[in-house]
Amino acid sequence: MLTKIKTITAITTGLFFALAVNTASAKLYKYVDEHGITRYSDSVPGKHSKYGRSEINSNGVITNRTKRKLTEKERKELEQERIRKEVEAAKIAKENAKKRRKELDLQILKARFSDEEMLEKERAARISTENASITIIQKRVDNYKEKRKNLINSAIIHEKSRGNIPVDIYKSIDEKQLEIKKDEKTIKRKKEEIAQINAKFDDYHKILFEKK
């Protein structure tokens, strides 16, 4: 029964199309209704306008197409797909930029260190500078410790001879202790920097001179 209906519909629409295109000023619309059936008419019923349509001239040529309106679900899916593509494009752009920076860094390294000797000379120079700084600070720490020791001895003498310790001696002892802690912290940081320098130059050596 359904096959018969479809056959009749096809014959009817075919006849209508034939009549329409033979009229000089005729306009024919082709659209698909809510049941998925293709129809031809000289106008599109309002309830079917959301399904999209094609406009056919008197020569049987499609002159205009109107896409069907998207459902809310389809709009959301398109928006999600747009966002996904933007995120993916940004990720690729970031990876490409990282790759270009890496290539540029390699070129700079090659220009900077043409051989292993140059690399090791700069490593030694950088470490020597840090060690010289540590030596100076360590001498200062030793000096602070010696002064603090003398202040403590002075405090002991005052307590024995006078029964009390002057406030300025307490204050000086505390100040020297703070300076010692500050400089010892700096020394620790300098030693960490030396370790970082060695690690960095080891990486340089691996990148430039070790066979892969």
Neighbours of 76 (CB within 10 A): 11
pLDDT at position 10 over 50? no
Q: Which residue has the higher pLDDT, 138 or 27?
A: 138
Average pLDDT over residues 107-133: 95
Which pLDDT does position 23 carry in this prediction? Answer: 45
Which pLDDT does position 74 carry in this prediction? Answer: 77
Question: How does pLDDT run across 85-95, given as a tens digit for each residue?
Answer: 999 999 999 99
Tokens read off for 106 = 């390699």
Tokens read off for 84 = 């996904």
Backbone φ/ψ region at 172: left (φ over 0), alpha (ψ -120 to 50), beta: alpha
Confidence (pTM): 0.56
Q: Which residue has the higher pLDDT, 60 or 152?
A: 152
What is the maximal distance between C-alpha atoms in the chain? Answer: 131
Tell me the one-letter amino acid at 17: F
Which pLDDT does position 154 carry in this prediction? Answer: 92
Which pLDDT does position 31 carry in this prediction? Answer: 64
Residue 194 CA neighbour count, 13 Å, CB half = 16
Q: Find the DSSP H helices in 36-166.
A: 72-112, 116-162
Sheet arrangement for strand 53-56: 38-41, 28-32, 53-56, 62-66
32 burial type by CB count under 10 A (0-12 exposed, 13-18 middle, 19+ buried):
middle
Q: Which residue has the higher pLDDT, 26 or 158?
A: 158
Average pLDDT over residues 56-69: 70
Q: Band the pLDDT of 129: cuts 50, 70, 90.
A: very high
Which pLDDT does position 11 carry in this prediction? Answer: 45
Which pLDDT does position 5 carry in this prediction? Answer: 41
Q: Band the pLDDT of 50: cuts 50, 70, 90.
A: low
